[in-house]
C-alpha cells in the first residue's frame, strides 16, 4: 500500500475517534512537552550565560591572566579557598615579560578594577561605581566604542591624566539631563574630566553592566583601585580561536618561570577564558539536560505502552477489516505497515502537539520568570522523531499480530 495512502488512512482513523486518540497520545504529548520545554529553557539559559553574562565580562578569543578567577559560578571548597588566598598578585613588573613573549598579532591590556564611591556637583548623593584603570589596548580588546565624546589620547595614557570615560548608568545618574562630556566626576576628592560616554552594555540577572568608569592606568585613580605595583589582570586577545591555546601556554610558561614554580607544582595564577568561566554552568546544564531527557523518557515509555495497548485493541476491533483486506490481496507486510503507520502517525501527532505545548510552556516560563527560553530547531526535530519512533516501537507487536491473522478466522470475527 502506498505510504501516503497509509498516512491518509491513519489520520482518518484518528479523526474518527478524536477523543480516544487524544487520550492515547497524551503520554507522548506530555513527554515531548517536557522535552521541548526543558531544552528550550536550558538552551535559553545557556545562550544567556554565554552571550549576556560571560560574553559581557570576557571578550571573544581572549583570556585573562589573574591571580584568582574573576567569575566564580561554582561552589568552592575550603581547601580551594586557602590555595587561592596563598597566591601572589600579578604585578606591574609582570606586564613587560608577559607581553614581550606574545606573538605580534595579539592584543592586550592591563586592567585594574574596584568599586569606588563617586560624586558629582549635579546630584547630592554619592554612589558606587565600578572603576577600571586600563592600558591603551583595552577598548580594542573589549570592542567598546563611545556614543559621545572620545577615547583617551596617547598623551593621556602616557601622563596618567585625570580623565575618564563612563557607562550609561553613570552618565544618567550623575549628569541628569546633561551632556556629561567635559564635566567632572569626583572620586576620592580628585576631579576627573569625562571625555566620553560609552555605548550601552546591557545587564544580566538584573545586574547592570553600565555602572562603570574607565581611566588610564597611570591616572591617580589607580592608587585606589590597586595596591602599589599590583594589577588585577592582563587581558589578552588572539586573532583567532586557534591561536588562543598556544598563546595561553606561552603566557603560562612565562608566569611559571617568574614565580619559580617546579614542574610538580600547580599554577599559582589563573588563565581565565570564557570557557573556564562557563565550566560551572556547563555542569549545571548537563544535570538539567539529563533531567530534561529522563523526565520525558518516562512520559514516552508510558505513552508507548498506552499506544501499544490501544493498537492491540484496534487490531482486535478491526479483525474483520483485516480479514477483508487480506481476502482482497493484502500481504502481511501491507497489514503490518498499515498498523505501523497508524501507530506512528498517532504518536507523531502526539509529538507535534507536545512540541506546540512545550513551546507554549517555555514561553510562559520565560514570561513569568526571569529565565529566558530559546526555541531550538533540533529539539523540534528530535521531538517529532522520537514521536514517530515511539509509535513504531509501540506498533510493532500489534501490527505483527494483525499481519499474522489467518484470513478466514479474521473474516469470521464479529
Partner 1 sequence: MSQDIVHDSLEAPLGSTAERQAVVGAAGAAPGQDWVIVTRGIKREYDMGGEVVRALRGVDVAIRRNEYVAIMGPSGSGKSTLMNVIGCLDTPNAGEYWLNGTQVSKMSDDALARVRNKEIGFVFQTFNLLPRASALHNVELPLVYAGVPGEERRRRAKEALERVQLGGRIDHRPNELSGGQRQRVAIARALVNNPSILLADEPTGNLDSATSEEIMKVFESLADQGQTVIMVTHEPDIAAHARRVIVLRDGMVHSDERRSTFVEKLGLPA
Q: Which residue has the cell 553592566?
A: 209
Cell numbers representing residue 316 in the block: 482486535
Nearest to 201 by CA among 44, 366, 53, 70: 53
Min dist. Cβ of residue 334 to partner 1 (A):
6
Min dist. Cβ of residue 3 to partner 1 (A):
12
Q: What is the DSSP string of 56-72?
A: HHS-TTEEEEESS-S--
Nearer to partner 1 (CB atom), residue 223 or residue 331: 331
Q: Which stretch binds partner 1 (CB under 8 A): 54-62, 256-264, 389-397, 405-413?
A: 405-413
- Choice from 11, 248, 284, 411 touching partner 1 (CB under 8 A): 411
Q: Which residue has the cell 538552551?
A: 43
- Which residues, 8 to 47, sit near partner 1 by CB under 8 A? 12, 16
- What residues form DSSP beta bridges with 123? 120
Binding mask 129-148 for partner 1 (x = CB under 8 A): --------------------
| Long-range contacts, stretch 177-184, CB < 8 angstroms, 24+ apart | 178/122, 179/148, 180/149, 181/148, 181/149, 183/120, 183/122, 184/120, 184/121
Min dist. Cβ of residue 21 to partner 1 (A):
15
Cell numbers representing residue 24 in the block: 492515547
Nearer to partner 1 (CB atom), residue 15 or residue 205: 15
Size of the site for partner 1 (CB under 8 A): 22
Distances (CA, A) of 57 to 73, 128, 142, 144, 235: 13, 19, 9, 12, 11
Q: Cα–Cα distance between 200 and 217 in angstroms, integer?
A: 23
Binding mask 301-320 for partner 1 (x = CB under 8 A): -------------------x
Q: Cα–Cα distance between 402 and 333 in angstroms, integer?
A: 10
Nearer to partner 1 (CB atom), residue 335 or residue 344: 335
Min dist. Cβ of residue 324 to partner 1 (A):
5
Nearer to partner 1 (CB atom), residue 179 or residue 406: 406
According to the binding rule CB under 8 A, does residue 1 interact with partner 1? yes
Q: Cα–Cα distance between 138 and 116 in angstroms, integer?
A: 20
Min dist. Cβ of residue 33 to partner 1 (A):
31
Binding mask 318-357 for partner 1 (x = CB under 8 A): --xx-xxxxxxxxxxxx-----------------------
Q: How many CA atoms lie within 13 A of 11 on its CB side?
A: 8
Binding site for partner 1 (CB under 8 A): 1-2, 5, 12, 16, 320-321, 323-334, 407-408, 411
Amino acid at each position: 500500500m502506498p505510504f501516503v495512502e497509509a498516512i491518509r488512512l491513519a489520520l482518518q482513523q484518528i479523526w474518527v475517534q478524536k477523543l480516544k486518540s487524544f487520550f492515547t497520545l497524551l503520554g507522548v504529548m506530555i513527554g515531548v512537552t517536557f522535552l521541548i520545554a526543558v531544552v528550550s529553557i536550558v538552551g535559553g539559559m545557556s545562550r544567556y550565560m554565554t552571550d549576556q553574562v560571560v560574553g559581557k565580562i570576557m571578550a571573544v578569543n581572549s583570556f585573562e591572566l589573574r591571580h584568582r578567577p574573576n567569575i566564580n559560578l561554582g561552589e568552592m571548597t575550603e581547601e580551594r579557598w586557602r590555595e587561592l588566598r596563598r597566591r601572589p598578585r600579578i604585578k606591574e613588573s609582570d606586564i613587560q615579560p608577559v607581553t614581550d613573549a606574545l606573538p605580534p598579532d595579539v592584543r592586550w591590556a592591563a586592567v585594574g578594577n574596584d568599586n569606588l564611591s563617586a560624586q558629582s556637583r549635579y546630584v547630592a548623593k554619592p554612589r558606587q561605581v565600578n572603576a577600571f584603570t586600563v592600558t591603551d589596548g583595552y577598548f580594542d580588546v573589549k570592542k567598546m566604542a563611545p556614543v559621545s565624546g572620545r577615547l583617551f589620547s596617547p598623551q593621556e595614557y602616557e601622563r596618567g591624566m585625570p580623565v575618564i570615560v563612563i557607562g550609561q548608568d553613570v552618565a544618567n545618574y550623575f549628569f541628569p539631563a546633561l551632556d556629561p562630556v567635559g564635566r567632572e566626576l569626583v572620586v576620592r576628592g580628585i576631579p576627573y574630566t569625562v571625555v566620553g560616554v560609552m555605548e550601552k552594555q546591557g545587564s544580566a540577572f538584573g545586574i547592570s553592566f553600565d555602572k562603570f568608569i574607565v581611566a588610564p592606568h597611570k591616572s591617580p585613580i589607580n592608587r585606589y583601585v590597586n595596591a602599589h605595583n599590583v594589577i588585577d589582570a592582563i587581558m589578552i586577545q588572539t586573532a583567532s580561536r586557534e591561536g588562543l591555546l598556544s598563546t595561553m601556554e606561552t603566557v603560562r610558561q612565562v608566569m611559571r618561570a617568574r614565580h619559580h614554580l617546579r614542574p610538580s607544582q600547580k599554577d599559582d595564577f589563573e588563565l581565565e577564558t570564557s570557557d573556564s568561566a562557563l565550566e560551572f554552568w556547563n555542569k549545571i546544564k548537563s544535570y538539567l539536560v539529563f533531567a530534561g531527557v529522563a523526565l520525558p523518557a518516562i512520559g514516552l515509555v508510558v505513552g508507548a505502552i498506552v499506544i501499544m495497548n490501544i493498537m492491540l485493541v484496534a487490531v482486535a476491533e478491526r479483525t474483520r477489516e483485516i480479514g477483508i483486506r487480506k481476502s482482497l490481496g493484502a500481504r502481511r507486510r501491507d497489514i503490518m505497515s498499515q498498523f505501523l503507520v497508524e501507530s506512528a502517525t498517532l504518536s507523531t501527532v502526539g509529538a507535534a502537539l507536545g512540541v506546540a505545548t512545550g513551546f507554549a510552556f517555555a514561553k510562559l516560563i520565560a514570561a513569568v520568570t526571569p529565565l529566558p527560553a530559546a526555541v531550538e530547531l533540533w529539539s523540534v526535530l528530535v521531538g517529532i522523531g522520537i514521536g514517530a519512533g515511539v509509535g513504531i516501537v509501540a506498533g510493532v507487536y500489534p501490527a505483527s499480530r494483525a499481519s499474522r491473522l489467518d484470513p478466514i478466522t479474521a473474516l469470521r470475527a464479529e
